[in-house]
Amino acid sequence: MASNLPLPVPPRTPTPPADEPAHQHAQLNSGVSVDRDSLSPLVESLPRSSSLETGTQGRLSPTKSSFNLSPVPDSTTSAQNGSSNMTAAGPFNFNTTVMAKSPVTKSNIGQRRGHKYKHSSISHQIFLEPPPRAPLALPNSLPIPTLKEYRTSMSKDQKTRFWWSVCHIFVAAYTLWTAEGSLAMTALSHLILFDSLGALLCVAVDILGNFEVWKRSSIRHPFGLERAEVLAGFAMCVLLLFMGLDLISHNLQHFLERSGHEPHHPHEHDRVSLGTVDVTAILAILSTLVSAILLKNHARIGKAMRFASMESLPSVLSNPSHFLTLSCSTLLLLLPLVSIRIYDWLDKVLSGTIAISMCVLGVRLVKALGSMLLMSYSGPGVTEVIKDIEADPSVFGVDDARFWQVHYGLCMANLKIRVSGTEETLVRLREKISSLIRNRLGGGYGTGGQKWEVSLQFTIERA
């Protein structure tokens, strides 16, 4: 009984709706007969190609020499397509690609360039453009003249002064050549060499004054090229100091020779004949006077280094270098008038005196010019000026005071002062302090002293 009962039909699983609408299927299938068994593996739906005969099946074997991956086109298929010369593409039918030889250009497509803040609408209220600045009053740099420009800029007077300084150097060489018989004459030749180099430096500075770079300030050279003259003068002073030390060692060597020690190099000095005029001494006097009067030789060095004991002398003799050269030349001119014994004694004393004087002068000049190169002021009168400023009733005190010298013709004073009073009182005080510094330290107006630039900073004290 149970076996005759019908088997229950299982419930049908609901079919999910199709992804595409039904009307689209209708459009795709309209006019085309669809055979559901065409793709069945049990039905031979693929037509057997007539080209795959027994004779041609070996052609597709890789072991045959006639192996070709491109199949033979079907005549019927070619006729239907209307292209009998086209062949089906094989699995490894790659096309040849030619690489471009030109450099690959960078493309900005798909890349984001940084956002410019100042172009955004919000940043216009935050990032403001800086106000335009006026161009600097000082140039960045000025052209330095070449040797050709230096020669072509010389005037007739400057050429005359240049050739005279060269003649002065020849006088120094002639003095050294004729100094065989006197130690004092050897010392005098060293002094004339120092004077001739100073005369040449004065001419070189005068010619450099033809160019704008010498005195005009720039960012590269804030004080122009005038500090180069200070450096050259410093080198000359070091040379003078070494020449003085050389003369001292030469005199000590002669003293040891006279004491009984055997000299390493014999020195025979023949004195000038009695009653004769020493032409070398006359040439030394004339060359020194011409360079001192016409070329203003050592004028700037004399202002930088002041000797209080020599300020009352005439203008030429007030310079220590001129005074030393002229006094030595005059004594050598008078030495042939004395006896032989006195001549030999005076010659050694005069030589030693000149050597020591050269060392003292060289040390003083090195100290003065060295402080100038270090941007400091070594002249007298600074303490008295500060005391006079503090004595003013409007001044409570001087907090800071800096005095420094740039070159031979320019000095600067920077002061920070605590004051009290009205605006008119401060103006009067500013003028008073500036005038006090220029008169005490610069020598006053019209004296030809150094130029002083004074800058004052006032701190107002509430009484």
Q: Is the pLDDT of residue 123 over 80?
A: no
Nearest-angstrom CA–CA distance, 449 and 410 = 9
- Output the six-digit token pair for 71: 């199949």
Residue pLDDT, tens place only, 343-375: 778 888 888 899 999 999 899 889 888 988 998
Please indicate, yes or no, if residue 153 is contained in any of the structural domains.
yes
Does 440 lie in the same domain as 309? Answer: no
Please indicate, yes or no, if residue 235 is contained in any of the structural domains.
yes
Residue pLDDT, tens place only, 147-197: 899 899 999 999 999 999 999 999 999 988 888 778 888 899 999 999 999
Q: Is the pLDDT of residue 28 over 50?
A: no
Q: Which of 229-233, 246-250, 257-261, 384-388 has the lowest mean pLDDT?
A: 257-261
pLDDT number for residue 414: 92
Nearest-angstrom CA–CA distance, 130 and 136 = 17
Q: Which of 102-111, 124-133, 205-214 has the lowest mean pLDDT?
A: 102-111
Q: How confident is the model at residue 77 (pLDDT cuts 50, 70, 90)?
A: very low
Please indicate, yes or no, if residue 122 is contained in any of the structural domains.
no
Which helix (H) or strand (E) covers residue 457, if one does?
strand 451-460
Does 273 lie in the same domain as 414? Answer: no
352: left (phi over 0), alpha (psi -120 to 50) or beta: alpha
Nearest-angstrom CA–CA distance, 386 and 267 = 57
Please indicate, yes or no, if residue 135 is contained in any of the structural domains.
no
Does 359 lie in the same domain as 299? Answer: yes
Given 315, 339, 373, which residue is the final one in a domain? Answer: 373
Does 306 lie in the same domain as 197? Answer: yes
Given 333, 352, 373, which residue is the final one in a domain? Answer: 373
Instruction: Tell me how many domains the chain contains.
Output: 2
Please indicate, yes or no, if residue 63 is contained in any of the structural domains.
no
Does 444 lie in the same domain as 304? Answer: no
Q: How confident is the model at residue 92 (pLDDT cuts 50, 70, 90)?
A: low
CATH code assigned at 397: 3.30.70.1350
CATH code assigned at 330: 1.20.1510
Does 331 lie in the same domain as 199? Answer: yes
Per the model's pLDDT, the better-predicted residue between 101 and 110 turns out to be 101
pLDDT number for residue 85: 46
For tokens 């009290």, what's the residue?
Answer: 420
Does 357 lie in the same domain as 223? Answer: yes
pLDDT number for residue 240: 92
User: Is 249 within 8 Å of 180 (Cβ atoms)?
Assistant: no
Does 204 lie in the same domain as 322? Answer: yes
Q: Mean pLDDT across the stretch 95-117?
A: 56
pLDDT number for residue 266: 46
Highest mean pLDDT among 27-31, 80-84, 242-246: 242-246
Q: Mean pLDDT across the stretch 64-90?
A: 47
pLDDT number for residue 79: 41
Strands 410-419 and 451-460: parallel
Please indicate, yes or no, if residue 203 is contained in any of the structural domains.
yes
Q: How confident is the model at residue 462 (pLDDT cuts 50, 70, 90)?
A: confident
pLDDT number for residue 348: 85
Does 403 lie in the same domain as 333? Answer: no
Does 193 lie in the same domain as 312? Answer: yes
Nearest-angstrom CA–CA distance, 313 and 306 = 12
Highest mean pLDDT among 83-97, 311-325, 443-457: 311-325
Please indicate, yes or no, if residue 110 is contained in any of the structural domains.
no
Owning domain of residue 445? 382-460
Q: How confident is the model at residue 235 (pLDDT cuts 50, 70, 90)?
A: very high
Does 280 lie in the same domain as 214? Answer: yes
Please indicate, yes or no, if residue 102 is contained in any of the structural domains.
no
One-letter amino acid at 9 equals V
Does 175 lie in the same domain as 267? Answer: yes
Share of the chain above pLDDT 90, in %: 14
Q: What distance, in Å, lies between the first and last C-alpha atoms of the chain? A: 135
Given 326, 345, 373, which residue is the final one in a domain? Answer: 373
